[in-house]
Amino acid sequence: MIPGQGLAKAAPSLAVIGAGVAGCALVAQMRRLGWRGPISLWESGRGPGGRASTRRSRHDARVRLDHGAPLLSISSTEAPALLAPLLDGGWIEPWGGGLAQLGAEGQLIIGATDPLTQGDLYRGRGSMDQLCRGLLELAGSDVELHSQCLVRDLATTAAGGWELLDQQQQWLGAADWLVLSGTLLVHPRCQTLLGWPEPPLQPLARTLGDPQLQRAAAAIAAIDSSPRCALLLLIPPAAAEAWRRLPFRLLSFEAAAERRWGLSRLSIQPLEDGRCAVVAHSSAAVARLHSDVIGSRSSVAQLSGVRPSPQREQALIASLTSALSAVVEPWITPLELEGSDPQLMRWGAAFPEGAGLARELMLCPQSRIGFCGDFCSGPGFGRIEAALRSGEELAERTLAAISAG
């Protein structure tokens, strides 16, 4: 019997916090497996996508900047279950753009790959946010998506379920089961980023009397992450041709080159109207050095407790621009950026490091809570692949636990 069959008449409700790839994959797979219980999806950003989101403009529908992950790479031989439906639906497509790597002396190695570009490569058709939009399409229209809604706190109900609270401790919603598809509510980085006194799940993990949840919460809190800053540029048509002629679409940096220029990745994204989006990711060292600098136009800048510094933001933009100019000097001189509208994004937990969350800790049936994301161990750890696979796996395990209960 397919997991989830027979649950439609009295299926419990599920709340998923985080509409990135993992959260969207979870709800898509649960629906594909036949579960028809109520699902609510809670996202603090402007829409689904997470690190695979796309920066768009309210004033110009043609603007698209894939400012986080530019690609989906599948490194293992067995494809995720959701890959074929996404391809068949036209939400993603194979990517065959030019890859290159920059050495410490400025030498260009055409076709070189790094851990993020090994295996089969795909991208969202038109923009990377189509990946999550496709997953939600597979999930169906009855999934409630709450965008720009930060879940600040959690509480348990007398019936063993969960309540979601906002920054004023006002009730947002409730569900019988809860999934966290990110680490913010568990990891101490919320204290540095948002000024919270403690990660909201930690006191509950200590008091609920669930050893599995205590181990999972402790393991997530111990996961370290490598940050990144991203310089976003929208090159006007008159200057875009030089960028289009570059011998690569995605440039990675050897370790020594990262140290020399302070950059880790350069993504060239030609637009249909002749413009070109350019995204330059900093090295982890540069991001850590500027750990308190937040992009003033990012969604996190609107959250309570976050205080952007326009002066430091502009200084970091200037520094990243100077590094970018030095990198592309062999092909583009001088670097003309008039009208490119430079912006800054920061990913405080861009790449999880270490062993990750053990797969046996992804679900805590006693407390009716699960975890998924690129921080879960397994194939593709630290990349979109892990987020996709962890969402699929947690869906199956959650349905099995609900059936058993």
Per-residue pLDDT reduced to its tens digit, 303-343? 555 566 788 899 999 999 999 999 999 999 999 899 999 99
Average pLDDT over residues 157-165: 96
Q: Is residue 329 part of a domain?
A: yes
* φ, ψ for residue 126, nearest 5 deg: 95, -40
Assigned token pair, 395: 């869906």
Q: Do residues 180 and 113 both lie within one domain?
A: no
Number of domains in the chain: 2
Q: Do residues 269 and 209 both lie within one domain?
A: no
Which residue would you say has higher pLDDT here, 90 or 304? 90
Q: Is residue 7 part of a domain?
A: no
- Look at residue 25 and tell me whether its pLDDT is greater than 80: yes
Q: Is residue 8 part of a domain?
A: no
Q: Do residues 42 and 104 both lie within one domain?
A: no
Q: Do residues 268 and 372 both lie within one domain?
A: no
> What is the per-residue pLDDT across 201-231, written as a single tens digit (0 to 9) for each?
999 999 999 999 999 999 999 999 999 999 9
Q: Is residue 83 part of a domain?
A: no
> What is the per-residue pLDDT across 347-376, written as a single tens digit (0 to 9) for each?
888 999 998 999 999 999 999 999 999 999
How high does pLDDT run on average in the chain? 93
Residue 182, domain CATH? 3.50.50.60
Q: Do residues 192 and 303 both lie within one domain?
A: no
Q: Is residue 38 part of a domain?
A: yes
Which residue would you say has higher pLDDT here, 169 or 293? 169
> What is the per-residue pLDDT across 34-50, written as a single tens digit (0 to 9) for each?
999 999 999 999 899 99
> What is the per-residue pLDDT across 265-292, written as a single tens digit (0 to 9) for each?
999 999 999 999 999 999 999 999 998 8
Residue 294, domain CATH? 3.90.660.10
Assigned token pair, 97: 């753009």
Q: Do residues 391 and 268 both lie within one domain?
A: no
The C-alpha atoms of residue 310 and residue 319 are separated, in whole angstroms, by 14
Domain that holds residue 109: 94-120+225-351
Q: Do residues 376 and 346 both lie within one domain?
A: no
Q: Do residues 185 and 233 both lie within one domain?
A: no
Name the amino acid, one letter, at 398: T
